[in-house]
């Protein structure tokens, strides 16, 4: 009898322990897909965001980041989050411009070329961006810019003649089209494959920020960086709407607070690092120069055409956003 009671007791204790463990491990795990290097500020801020959510959600949600395209490659992240294959991810917004022109507004050439204007353009376009994402089954969390975009070339580029025929690495429709207009040969390549592409000669030029060239040690393959400041593209962090709706309201609040923190840090960090990257280029022997007037004129002529094209595609909605931006 004594023995039986003991084993019953043991059993109920064991059950209670299992239950408690069950509650403790009930934290949902979200894998967060990131395309850029773990050491890039976008990824570092995403990691801090994930930690803040994990720490503050009272054990209900654990977000784990996967940088460098290790969960999904950059070009797969948007559709993966839409389809719920990943509940959360970060994507370069303008890479989606073929889906909807509103995604391309931050890459309209020479529309916003510094951080202050870029912030205004973001604020002016945010309601339309959030709405477009909502219609696609996504919840928008935050958006952080890349530093101003410059031109990388293996050849010295003083005149448009100098760059004709160069193989050009593109990351969105705008960069592809500019390359075409300037007689270069564009190919889309994600940053994860960038060093390889330049090492093997698949790419010989590109438009990007100092940040991406720094992450991929492009000084090993490219000698010239021209500080064009053509635009500041942004990344955004998005959540699958079904996954979002399944969360308790208090967890949603924790996420929104962490998003606001991440965004604030991200804008400050991008501005702080913009010139630093270019100094690092110089230290590694790259020639960093302003763009020549002739080259700038060529970029601006291509930019004008693309701006007009964007306005036509974006119609009334686009015109309203531009108007709001210009009033800010």
Interface residues with ligand PCA (CB under 6 A) are 92, 146, 171, 191, 208-209, 211-212, 233
Contact call for residues 178 and 159 (beta carbons, < 8 A) = no
Q: 9: part of which helix (H) or strand (E)?
A: helix 2-24
Within 166-223, residue ranges assigned H as helices are 173-181, 194-199, 210-215
Label residues 222-247 b or e (16+ Cβ within 10 Å = b).
bebbbbbbbbbbbbbbbbbbebbeeb
Q: How far apart are CB 316 and ligand PCA at their closest, in Å?
A: 28
Q: How far apart are CB 34 and ligand PCA at their closest, in Å?
A: 13
3-class SS at 270? helix
C-alpha 312/C-alpha 124 separation (Å) is 18
C-alpha 65/C-alpha 29 separation (Å) is 11
In DSSP terms, 168 is beta-bridged to 186, 205
Q: How far apart are CB 122 and ligand PCA at their closest, in Å?
A: 15
User: Between 194 and 247, whose beta carbon lies closer to ligand PCA?
Assistant: 194
In DSSP terms, 185 is beta-bridged to 167
Q: How far apart are CB 207 and ligand PCA at their closest, in Å?
A: 8
C-alpha 210/C-alpha 9 separation (Å) is 66
User: Between 106 and 128, whose beta carbon lies closer to ligand PCA?
Assistant: 106
User: Between 52 and 90, whose beta carbon lies closer to ligand PCA?
Assistant: 90
Q: How far apart are CB 191 and ligand PCA at their closest, in Å?
A: 4
C-alpha 114/C-alpha 151 separation (Å) is 16
Q: How far apart are CB 81 and ligand PCA at their closest, in Å?
A: 18
User: Between 211 and 259, whose beta carbon lies closer to ligand PCA?
Assistant: 211
User: Between 87 and 233, whose beta carbon lies closer to ligand PCA?
Assistant: 233
User: Between 228 and 255, whose beta carbon lies closer to ligand PCA?
Assistant: 228
Q: How far apart are CB 43 and ligand PCA at their closest, in Å?
A: 12
Residue with the CB atom nearest ligand PCA in the bound state: 209
User: Between 154 and 254, whose beta carbon lies closer to ligand PCA?
Assistant: 154
3-class SS at 57? coil
Contact call for residues 55 and 27 (beta carbons, < 8 A) = no
């Amino acid at each position: 009898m004594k023995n039986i009671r003991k084993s019953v007791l043991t059993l109920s204790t064991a059950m209670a322990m299992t239950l408690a463990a069950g509650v403790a491990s009930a934290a949902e795990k979200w894998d967060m897909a990131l395309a850029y290097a773990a050491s890039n500020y976008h990824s570092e801020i995403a990691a801090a965001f994930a930690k803040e959510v994990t720490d503050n959600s009272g054990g209900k949600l654990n977000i784990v980041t996967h940088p460098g395209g290790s969960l999904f490659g950059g070009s797969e992240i948007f559709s993966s989050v839409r389809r719920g294959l990943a509940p959360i991810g970060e994507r370069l917004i303008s890479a989606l411009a073929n889906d909807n022109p509103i995604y391309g507004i931050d890459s309209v050439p020479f529309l916003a070329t510094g951080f202050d204007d870029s912030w205004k353009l973001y604020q002016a376009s945010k309601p339309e961006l959030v709405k477009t994402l909502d219609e696609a089954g996504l919840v928008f969390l935050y958006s952080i810019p890349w530093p101003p975009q410059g031109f990388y070339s293996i050849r010295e580029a003083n005149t448009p003649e100098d760059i004709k025929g160069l193989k050009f690495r593109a990351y969105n429709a705008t960069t592809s089209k500019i390359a075409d207009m300037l007689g270069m040969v564009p190919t889309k390549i994600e940053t994860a494959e960038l060093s390889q592409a330049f090492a093997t000669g698949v790419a010989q030029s590109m438009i990007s920020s100092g940040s991406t060239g720094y992450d991929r040690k492009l000084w090993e393959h490219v000698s010239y960086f021209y500080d064009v400041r053509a635009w500041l593209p942004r990344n955004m962090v998005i959540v699958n709407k079904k996954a979002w709706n399944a969360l308790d309201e208090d967890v949603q609040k924790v996420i929104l607070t962490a998003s606001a923190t991440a965004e604030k840090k991200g804008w400050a960090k991008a501005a702080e690092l913009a010139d630093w990257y270019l100094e690092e280029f110089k230290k590694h022997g790259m020639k960093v120069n302003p763009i020549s007037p002739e080259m700038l004129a060529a970029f601006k002529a291509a930019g004008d055409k693309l701006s007009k094209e964007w306005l036509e595609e974006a119609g009334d909605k686009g015109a309203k956003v531009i108007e709001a931006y210009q009033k800010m």
